[in-house]
Amino acid sequence: MPGALTNAFADLAEGYEKRRVWWALAREDIGDQHRRTTLGPFWLLFNYMTFAGTFIFVFRSSSSGSDHYPTYVAVGLLVWLYIMETITQAMTVFVREKSFIKGTRLPLTVYVMRLAMQSVIRTLYALAGCVIILLLAGDSIHVGWLLALPGVLLLLLATPGAILVFGFLGAYVPDSQFFVANIMRIGMFLTPVFWRLETAGGGVRSLFYHWNPFTYFLEIVRQPMLNQSMPLLALGICAIITVVLWLIGLLLLGTLRRKLVFVL
């Protein structure tokens, strides 16, 4: 294990030295995906506002405590889409990069951070849409927006660790790509993105609220903006999950990074 961690940290250090590479590649990817379109990357903002607006319009009337329901959905959906995109894209990150992995000696951290930065850039466009929805809903800027920053930073910190774990899983167990994709599709309805615990009525949905790890990553960002208070329990749970993801990811990176080329 010490040797594996040493190899992993060496890869991380080399990847950090090449931070300009993965930052440039991430920006190029976003530009290429919207090349020749009129709105360009602003389609990301438009898509988010359309999606969030639809959820708010359809489900608001059936939600209790609907005064803050637009904020509840807008923030919850923003975090959920970030998580869903990161995990589903992570499942094939090394497969998509196999030509680079086989043809260059770049550290795997470059590909991990390239995907992480893509997800962050996309979410920044959606964030602009989220702010617009909050302001239109009458939710003025308050201290809760600042209290949400620790949750945002923790979510960002968990991202590379999650990409490592799911990236190696997708590379070594190809069938897992389809399994995880299906889980994430139904996960939106099993995670309190647009429904509240008080409307769950107990039973199965209540269990999904309390035992779903995604719930707590939503709450560390959303609850401060709703209640202007720090969700300490949720932060603690997310911190533990983040540490576990990084530990597993580093062990996989240190153990399998030189073997990965043979399974791609």
pLDDT of residue 112: 95
Q: How far apart are CA 241 and CA 228, in angstroms?
A: 24
Give the pLDDT confidence of 195-247 residue by residue, as tens digits: 887 766 667 778 888 899 999 999 999 999 888 888 999 999 999 999 999 99
pLDDT of residue 88: 95
pLDDT of residue 200: 64
Give the pLDDT confidence of 124-137 residue by residue, as tens digits: 999 998 988 888 88
Token representation of residue 230: 């720090």
pLDDT of residue 202: 65
pLDDT of residue 75: 93
Residue extents of the structural domains in the chain:
2-262
- Cβ pair 83, 61 in contact under 8 A: no
Sequence-ordered list of residues with C-beta below 8 angstroms from that of 175, at least 6 positions apart, any chain: none
Q: How far apart are CA 178 and CA 145, in angstroms?
A: 36
Token representation of residue 10: 């060496």
pLDDT of residue 45: 85
Show the low-confidence residues of the chain (pLDDT under 50). 65
Can you say whether residue 210 is alpha, beta or left, with left for phi > 0 and alpha for psi between -120 and 50 degrees? alpha
Alpha helix positions (H), 91-148: 93-96, 98-103, 108-136, 143-147
